Amino acid sequence: MSAQAPLPEIPKDRLPRHIGIIMDGNGRWANNRGLAREHGHERGADAVRTTVRAARKIGVEALTLFAFSSQNWDRPPQEVFHLMALLRRYLVEERGEILDNNIRLVTVGQTHRLPEYVLEPMTDLMKASADNDGMILCLALSYGGREMITDAVRKLARAVAAGTLKPDDIDTRAIEAQLDSSRMLPPLDLLIRTSGEHRISNFFLWEAAYAELFFTEVLWPDFERANLIEALHDFAGRERRFGLTSNQLDDARADGPEEPEAP
């Protein structure tokens, strides 16, 4: 399906509540044009603005952007510095639009590793937008899915050692309760990855258990509203079974409008 082809409107009840995006392809976009990687990141920031605006106007409840992974710290120092400077600039320049449009900014990841010149505007904007009840914009920064699960298990181990938790009481809900994402965001419905790669690269490993995956060949700097709409139409046409059969889903829908809980 062409990203530019006109598509019918998506019913509200077929929209994902929470979309996560692995924004991949900035470096390849730049290399294809004989430019430094930094130029790809700059254009990628423009795609972030476009996507945030589109998701809000469409009615998406939460949007999580995989902006900087825990492994990205191993990139060349100059590239890391540029990414941090670009992040700071985004937080400063988009502050007004985020607040004016009732967006609430939250973050997940080991954000204590971020430099102070990023933490300061980030923390300020999170506090300023804390009471907003529009779309939630979540930035995954210094984020790794394995690291987040490890941190959650470590917290439970400490509770067991302190005698406040019994090992037999540890279940999936206990682990999930220790994840920041579960406290701030609705369950992940749709995970999009750009650039043609078919992997999730340590992003939302726990949260993506029952998410629908959408892969596009489009490099992130070229990602536009039409590409987001295409992903949403693909999502709307899927049957989400959560481990059940189609007949079981039909019976569950007959009993009420809620989707069955994932096992």
144-162 tens-digit pLDDT: 999 999 999 999 999 999 9
Give the model's pLDDT for residue 241. Answer: 72
Confidence class for position 123, pLDDT limits 50, 70, 90: very high
What average pLDDT does this structure show over 238-257? Answer: 68
Q: Higher-confidence residue: 210 or 247?
A: 210
| Contact call for residues 127 and 96 (beta carbons, < 8 A) | no
Mean pLDDT for all residues in the chain: 93
Please check whether the domain covering 14-144+188-254 is classified as CATH 3.40.1180.10.
yes
Type of residue at 249: L
Instruction: State CA 133 to chain mean position distance.
Output: 18
Catalytic residues: 24, 72
**Is the model's pLDDT at 57 over the cut of 70?**
yes
**Is the model's pLDDT at 259 over the cut of 60?**
no
Going across the sheet that includes 104-108, the strands are 104-108, 136-143, 62-69, 18-22, 190-193, 212-215
User: What does the angle CA 39 – CA 44 – CA 45 come to, to the nearest 5 degrees?
Assistant: 100
pTM (2 decimals)? 0.90
- Per residue in 85-119, pLDDT (tens digit) is 999 999 999 999 999 999 999 999 999 999 999 99
**Is the model's pLDDT at 2 over the cut of 70?**
no
Give the model's pLDDT for residue 240. Answer: 80
